A and B are shown apart, each in its own frame.
Chain A
Amino acid sequence: DTAVSQTPKYLVTQMGNDKSIKCEQNLGHDTMYWYKQDSKKFLKIMFSYNNKELIINETVPNRFSPKSPDKAHLNLHINSLELGDSAVYFCASSQDRRGGADNEQFFGPGTRLTVL
C-alpha cells in the first residue's frame, strides 16, 4: 500500500480554470503538508495542517485553498489558475513527536501541474 498518495499524477489545464489535487496518507500521521517544487527544483512549503487545523500558511496567493476533511486527507484547491502555477506539487505527512522534533516527513509521488 502506498503510504502517501496523490491524484492526479499529471494535470494539464487552461489558464483561469479551477482544479483540485487530492492527497491521502495511511500512516496515521497527525500532520500533513503541501509543497511546491518549481522548475529550478526549489521545494517550498505552502501549507501545513495538524489534525485538520491550519498550522503553517506561507505567503501563498489566496487562490490556493487547502481543505482537510479529516486528518488522513489534505486536498489542495486552486482557483483561477495562472501560468506561474505550473510546477510539481508534493503532499507530505509526519507524526508529531516531542512537540515537532524528529519530524521525518513522508512524501507523495507528486502532481505535475501544467497551465497552458
Chain B
Amino acid sequence: SQQGEEDPQALSIQEGENATMNCSYKTSINNLQWYRQNSGRGLVHLILIRSNEREKHSGRLRVTLDTSKKSSSLLITASRAADTASYFCAPSIYGNKLVFGAGTILRVKS
C-alpha cells in the first residue's frame, strides 16, 4: 500500500529520555508530515519536511527525510509526560492527499 508505516508500533520511555520513531513509504512524495493524536482527540500537525529537505527542527522535534530510502524519522528530545500520544507520519503523494499509517503509540512515564 502507499500509506506511511510507522515503527515501532509502541514505545515506552522514561521522562527525560529521547524518543525516536521511524516511517517508511513506497511512492514519490511532495512532502512528509508528522502528526500527533492525543487519546480521544483529533490529529495535530507537528512538522512538515519537503522532499528536497533532509532535516528539520522545531523546538524539541527533529525530523529527517531520506528520499532514496523512502524513510523518515521523528526524534523527540527530553521527553515529557505530556508527549504521551500516538504519532503518525503522512507522506503527501499528490495534490493534497496524505496517506496515514496506524501510528506509533508513545508512552512517557514520569
Listed in ascending order, the chain A residues whose CB lies under 8 Å from chain B are 4, 31, 33, 35, 40-45, 48, 50, 55-56, 90, 92, 94, 96, 99-110
Compute the total of residue contacts between A and B using a CB distance below 8 Å: 70
Q: Nearest-CB distance from B65 to chain A (Å)?
A: 14
State whether A100 touches B94 (Cβ < 8 A): yes
Stretch of B18-26, B37-45, B68-76 with 4 or more beta carbons under 8 angstroms from chain A: B37-45
State whether B98 touches A105 (Cβ < 8 A): yes
State whether B42 touches A107 (Cβ < 8 A): yes
Number of interface residues of B (CB under 8 A): 26
Decide if B86 is an interface residue (CB 8 Å cutoff): yes
A-contact 0/1 string along B18-61, CB 8 Å cutoff: 00000000000011010100001111110010100000000000
A35 to B97, CA, bound (A): 11
Q: Nearest-CB distance from B67 to chain A (Å)?
A: 15
Q: Nearest-CB distance from A6 to chain B (Å)?
A: 9
